[in-house]
Amino acid sequence: MSNRSSEALSPLPKRLKEARLAKGLSQKRLGVLAGIDEFSASSRMNQYEKGKHAPDFATLKRLSDELGVPTCYFLCEEDWLATALMNIFSLSLSKQKNIAQLIQDEKI
């Protein structure tokens, strides 16, 4: 499988765009908020959302912080798991820990 086709399978471009739109941010605004230079923010975000390039982890972390989503959401292949992660992330920390303990106790 070529590099190009494996990049197309990445969930990151679609999820990044959806999360940005849900926050009502332009590509440029999100890029600037995440620390990307104002003059290249729009084009870099466009490349990320088109799957032409992927942000390094530090940039992805800043993007996830600005969008209020867990960083792993962008990389999770399974849609059902990404949805579950978002639901868990929206809970209080104590509830998140309770869920983690329940899963560990069940050995799922």
pLDDT at 108: 55
Domain residue spans of the chain: 3-76
What is 3-76's CATH superfamily? lambda repressor-like DNA-binding domains (1.10.260.40)
For the record, the structure tokens of 98 come out as: 């309770």
With the C-alpha atoms ordered 23, 87, 57, 47, is the resulting torsion angle positive or negative?
A: negative
Complete DSSP assignment for 52-75: SS---HHHHHHHHHHHTS-GGGGT
Torsion of CA 18, 89, 53, 48, to 10 degrees: 30
As a whole number, the mean pLDDT across the chain is: 91
pLDDT at 9: 81
CA dist., res. 67 & res. 83, Å (int):
15
pLDDT at 42: 97
Residue type at position 6:
S
pLDDT for 41-72, tens place per residue? 999 999 999 999 999 999 999 999 999 999 99
pLDDT for 20-47, tens place per residue? 999 999 999 999 999 999 999 999 999 9
pLDDT at 7: 44
Residue type at position 85:
L
